[in-house]
């Protein structure tokens, strides 16, 4: 069974580095305002966690639901 995640991106913190988009490209997009948005759990748990861990401003929060 797939672990269900609740992922939030702080737009206050996000500075558009695109790291998360690069590491989990099916789960994060960059908006026109250069802010990342979580669009769905379309990558593996590990990839999404890696994206969160590598965000330079710690803007991504991952919780297991």
Binding site for ligand SF4 (CB under 6 A): 9, 14-20, 36, 55-57, 59-60
CB of 59 to ligand SF4, least distance (A): 4
Contact 3, 62 (CB under 8 A): no
Q: Give whichever of 1 and 17 is closer to ligand SF4, judged by the CB atom.
A: 17
Q: Give whichever of 4 and 61 is closer to ligand SF4, judged by the CB atom.
A: 61
Q: Give whichever of 44 and 50 is closer to ligand SF4, judged by the CB atom.
A: 50
């Amino acid at each position: 069974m797939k672990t269900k995640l609740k992922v939030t991106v702080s737009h206050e913190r996000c500075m558009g580095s695109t790291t998360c988009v690069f590491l989990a490209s099916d789960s994060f997009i960059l908006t026109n305002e250069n802010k990342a948005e979580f669009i769905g759990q379309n990558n593996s748990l590990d990839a999404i966690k890696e994206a969160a861990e590598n965000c330079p401003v710690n803007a991504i929060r991952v919780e297991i639901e």
